[in-house]
Chain A
Amino acid sequence: MKAQSCYVFWQRLHKNAKERKIPLRVIFELTYRCNFRCKHCYIPFHYRNYGELKTREVFFILEQLKNMGCLYLGFTGGEPFMRKDIMPIVRYANKLGFEIIIYTNGSLIKKNQIEELSGMRINKIDITIPAMSEIIFERITGICGSRDKVFKTIGILSESGISLGFKTCVLKENEPEIRKVQDFARNLNCQHRLDDMLSPRLDGSKEPYKYRGRLENKPAKSECELSGPGEFTNRVKFPNLKKVTDIFKCGAGTTQAAVTPLGELKMCLMIDYPRYKILESSLNDAWERLKDFSANIKIDGDYKCNKCKLIIYCKWCPAQGWLYNRKFTSCEPESRKNAELTKQLLNC
């Protein structure tokens, strides 16, 4: 066997998956429940009562994901560790041979769970850190004592050898804290992502816009590229296309998808429509329908990116348009405002 770099392997796999429309990357929302009450969260609070799949149903979907060629699997929520069966689920997914990332707030992970996870093939545990200061942290999460729990977990995780990543949503409340969180991540030699693109909620509520903060300092290049709803969206800057035929540069509906806590397949975390029930037919059937839907989204007159001068500064994606006014192609004003600001910051 000849050694090959991960990059070459990934490029080849991704290229083939794109050509043959294989769901290589899937993010699985295991629950809408969460022990935090962050005001800016994109999941409406009433979703927390929606229920979720049984363990054996999760296993059944994981098996189908494996059979369909999914390799990169993210577990998220809500808070995935709200589920009592989280460890059996991760264990099962590990045995099926997925490359796993767990997105969590970190407050509920127990020491014995970390010990077990450290022996598994877990690519990364990704924890959201809203702030370093206890007051600001807990004002954002809405839960007293949450900061201590999260940082205690981070301490144990960082000694366990598990690869760690952090994310911070840029809010008005934590603007002065951003650099501190970045320094903290750097000291632990961990990746840190900024999300300065808070989206409306899945039900269309624009309340999260109220909490959006701004990066006061000139953002580093990596920050511009990595922020967004999640790294599974793999943001790619739009080139100056003359003719756009596919607005889903992230691969939603062609190489990536999301599964809801109720076992529905959808394009990505942020796009709640359409949703196809996997358990009523099969994942294969749901994927075929999703691919069809995605392929038939037409570029209409609302689509302005290919003529927009802000395009290289903009983090717009069809999910932003969809959440704004239920149109995949529409220019969402907050993205535009953000792009203008980024342009100013980078050019000053």
Chain B
Amino acid sequence: MQEKLILKKNPDMVSRVIDDETILMPLYKTSDEINCIYALNKVASCVWGLIDGRRELGEIKEEILKVFDTTPKEVDKEMRGFLRDLKEIKAIKEG
């Protein structure tokens, strides 16, 4: 994972917290996936909340390690997969 990388959220992807569950929804029709809703688990939800166009990925990782009972290796793996997914659905971009 590129620890120094800074990511920005796509403003056309809105996030909602409903009953402690974070969901992501595209606002406009950019693809056939307009009707998709993406539900995030607790760790993913926390990562999403920390992506703010200022924090580096390394800092986000540290925050996750503070909150969840897990290992740096595990966080690396999970975050890599999650960030790849977010890029795929155009929810984030490199800032």
Contact = CB atoms under 8 A, between A and B. Distances in A.
Interface string A87-125: 000000011110100000000000000000011110100
A71 interface: yes
A25 to B, nearest CB: 12
Interface stretch (B13-21, B60-68, B69-77): B13-21
Contacts, number: 51
Nearest to A162: B29
A344 interface: no
A20 B19 contact: yes
Nearest to A94: B27
Contact of A120 (B19, B21, B28, B85): B28
Given A1-B82, A13-B21, A121-B34, A97 B29 contact: no
Nearest to A24: B18
B29 A71 contact: no
A281 interface: no
Contact of B85 (A1, A95, A97, A118): A1
B38 A1 contact: yes
A159 to B, nearest CB: 15
Contacts of A120: 27-29
Contacts of A96: 14
B50 interface: no
Contacts of A17: 18-19
Is the interface on chain B under 10, 10 to 19, 20 to 34, or 35 or more residues? 20 to 34
B44 A1 contact: yes
Contact of A13 (B18, B29, B44): B18
Interface string A1-42: 100101001000100110010101000000000000000000
B1 interface: no
Interface in B20-59: 21, 23, 25-29, 34-35, 37-40, 44
B82 A119 contact: no
B64 to A, nearest CB: 17
A66 B16 contact: yes
A119 B29 contact: yes
A142 interface: no
A231 B38 CA distance: 24
A69 interface: yes
Of B15, B18, B35, B38, chain A has the most CB atoms within 10 Å of the CB of: B18
Interface in A219-256: none
A97 B28 contact: no
Given A1-B40, A1-B44, A22 B18 contact: yes
Nearest to B91: A1
30 contacts: A1-B44, A1-B82, A1-B85, A6-B37, A9-B37, A9-B39, A13-B18, A13-B19, A16-B21, A17-B19, A22-B18, A22-B19, A69-B17, A69-B19, A71-B16, A71-B18, A71-B23, A95-B14, A97-B15, A97-B16, A97-B27, A120-B27, A120-B28, A121-B25, A121-B27, A121-B28, A121-B29, A121-B34, A123-B35, A161-B29
6 A-B pairs closest in CB distance: A97-B14, A1-B85, A69-B18, A16-B19, A97-B16, A97-B25
Interface of B: 14-19, 21, 23, 25-29, 34-35, 37-40, 44, 82, 85
